[in-house]
Structure 1
Amino acid sequence: MSPIPQKKNLFLCLDAFGTLFTPTKPIPTTYAEAALKHGIAINTPEPATQVSSSFKSAFARLSSEHPNYGRATGMGAEKWWAKVIKETFTPFLDPNETFPKYLVPELLHTYSSRKGYTLYPDVLPFFRMIQHMKTHRIRHGASHGLWPWDKTIVGVITNSDDRVPRILSSLGVNMGPWHYPVLRAPGPKDGEYDIDFTVLSYDVGAEKPDRRIFAAAEDMLDQKLKAASMVGDEDFRAEEFEKVYVGDDIHKDVFGAQDAGWSSVLLKRDPNLQGGQGYGLKMEEKGEDIGEGGEVISETKLVSQVGSLLDLCAWPRQVSERHEISPVRYVYIKGPEEVSLEKDKRRLRKQT
C-alpha cells in the first residue's frame, strides 16, 4: 500500500491543462476556423488535420531554437507564440499574399482567456468545498470530518508559460497574485484564495517530471508559511504538511511527483459522466521489471486514481483505513513513453 498520511495539514498542488481546464473545442479546429475568417484558405478535405501538422512542425522548431517558450533566449512567451502561429499558417499563403494583420492577436487572446477554454464542472465546486471546510475550522476550531485536514494550502504546478494564471482567473477561479519565485507577505486586504500561488515551468526553467519544479513549489510553501508567521497568523512548518499532487498524466504528474517524494493522485475523468462525478478511489500494486543490463524496462507503481476532484475527500480516509480498493494497473514503458492499462480483476484485501 502507499504511505499512509499521518500529517494533519495538506499542501495540495494541481496540474492545470487537462486537470482544471480543457480547450472548448480542438485547438487545430479553432486555428483553422480563425485562418478562414481572416482569409487564409486551406484547400484540403480536413483543414484542421493540415493545420495540426503544420503547428507541430512550427512548435518543434521554435522549441529547439528558443527553448522554454522563448524565455531561454530572451524572446518571451508572447513573441514566441506569435512566431509559432505565423509559421503554422505561412505554408498556406499564396506567393504574393500577406499575412493577416489580426490573426495572431486573435489567437493569442483566445488562448489566454476563457474564450478558448472550459473549466471542468467539478473544479469550482471543489474549491467551494475547500473554502467551506476552512470556514468550518475557523468557526469551530477543528477540521470537518469530510475534509480531515487542519490547514490546506493549494497551489498549481504546470508545464506552461505565463498565461495559466490569467486563464484560470478568467474562468472564475479566485487566484492568489503570487507565482514562483516571489511571494510577498500578505497584506491587510488579502483573503482566502482558491489557488494560493502558481509554479510555472516557464519560471522554473524545468518541466515535470523534473524534481526541480516540485522543489520550487516546496520553496513557495516555505515562503508562504514564513510570511504568515511574520504577520501574526498561525505558525506552521513545511514539514508538518502532507504534500499531494493531482494531475491527468501518469508519467509527468503521478510518477514525477512520487519521484520527488510527494504523494500523488491520477485524475482520470469518465467522459460519459456529466457534472464531474467520480467513482471514489482506485489503486494498483507496485512492482518493476528489470532488463538484463539492470535498466528499468517497465515499472508498475502504486497509483491512487480518482474520477473527480471531489473524490479527493475519500483519499486520506480510504488509504489510512486501508479499505478494500478496486485496483487498476498502469505500466509505464520507458523509451517510447507509452502507457498501457490493464484492468486487474483481483481486489486488494485489508492488510495488517
Structure 2
Amino acid sequence: MLRLRLLTWDVKDTLLRLRQPVGESYAAEARAHGLRVEPDTLTRSFREVYGAQSRRFPNYGRGSGLSSRQWWVDVVKETFRLSGLHDDGVLTLMAEKLYGDFCSAQNWELLPGASETLSRCCQRGFSMGVISNFDRRLENILSHCNLRHRFDFVLTSEDVGFAKPDRRIFEEALRLAGVPPQQAAHVGDDYTRDYRAARAVGMHSFLLRAAGHSQEPEVPPEHVLPTLSHLLALIEKG
C-alpha cells in the first residue's frame, strides 16, 4: 500500500467536463441575439483562436498586463469574428455573458465517480488539493459544482504564475501541504502535464484514461485509471 498523505487533482476532464462542446454554447448565445452560426464552425474557430492567444499571451495573460477576464473576452470575440460575425457591440455583450456562464455549474458536469471518489478519499484522511492550468474562476466553478469543500487548497496557474508541466506549481502544492513528494500523488488526464510532470518532482501519479485512448508505453498499468472509481484500489495495491 502506498503511504500517501496528500492527493492533488487536475480538474478539467479529470473531475469536471463541459456539458457540451464550446461551439454549442457559443452558437446558443448567438441565437439569443438573433444570429445564426454553425456550432462546428465556432468550435474550429475557437480552437484556432485559443491556440494563438495561448502562444501570444501564455497563462491567461499573466505577466503580460492582461487580466484573464480580458484574455477570455478577446478569445470569444475573435472566435465569433473568425466565424463571420463582426458587430463589435454585440460581440462584447456575448463575450461578457459567456465569460460569466462558464463560471457557473450550468456548463459543467462531474465525471463518473468523481463525487464518490473524492468523498471516500476525504474519509480516508488524505489532504487534498487542486493543481490546474485554469484561470481564477476555478474556485467559483468548484463551489457551484459542490466540490470546493473537498479541497484544502486550489492552485490555478493564473494565481501561482506557473502552468503545468512547470515543476514549481507542484512544488508549491507540496509546500502548502507540508508533505514530501514521496508521500503525495497527483491524479490527472494529461500524460505530459499531469502524469510525467508530477513524477518529475518525485510524486506518485495516476493517469485517468478512458478505454481506447492511446497507450503511452511508459505508463505501467497500475498507474492507469480507467475511471476515477479505480483510484483507491490502486493506492491500496501500490
TM-score by length of 2: 0.87
Aligned length: 233
Write the mapping of 1:81-230 to structure 2, written as runs, cut at 5 A.
81-91=72-82, 92-93=84-85, 97-100=87-90, 102-134=93-125, 152-173=126-147, 175=148, 193-222=149-178
CA RMSD of aligned residues (A): 2.4
Write the mapping of 1:267-306 to structure 2, written as runs, cut at 5 A.
267-269=208-210, 300-302=218-220, 304-306=223-225
**What is the CA deviation profile of residues 222-268 of structure 1, one whole-angstrom value per residue up to 9, with x for unaligned ones?**
2xxxxxxxxxxxxxxx2396110111112221111111211111112
SS across alignment from 1:300: coil
Query: Per-residue deviation at 1:28?
Result: 1.4
Structure 1 or 2: larger strand share? 1
One-letter amino acid of the structure 2 residue matched with residue 300 of structure 1: E
Aligned to 1:35: 30
CA distance in 1, matches of 2:46, 2:237: 44
Q: Is the 8 A contact 2:130 2:155 kept in 1?
A: yes
Aligned to 2:11: 16
Mark the structure with the bigger radius of gyration.
1
**What is the CA deviation profile of residues 307-341 of structure 1, one whole-angstrom value per residue up to 9, with x for unaligned ones?**
2323222123222xxxxxxxxxxxxxxxxxxxxxx
Aligned to 1:68: 59
Structure 1 ranges of 4+ moved more than 4 A: none
CA 1:98/1:40 → structure 2, altered by over 3 Å: closer, same or farther? farther
CA distance in 2, matches of 1:18, 1:258: 20
Aligned to 2:236: 317
Point out where structure 2 has 5 or more consecutive residues left out of the alignment: none
TM-score by length of 1: 0.61
CA distance in 2, matches of 1:240, 1:32: 44
Structure 1 or 2: larger helix share? 2
SS across alignment from 1:102: helix
Point out where structure 1 has 5 or more consecutive residues left out of the alignment: 135-151, 176-192, 223-237, 272-283, 285-297, 320-352
CA 1:82/1:263 → structure 2, altered by over 3 Å: closer, same or farther? same
Question: Sequence identity of aligned pairs in percent?
Answer: 29
Q: Is the 8 A contact 2:113 2:228 kept in 1?
A: yes
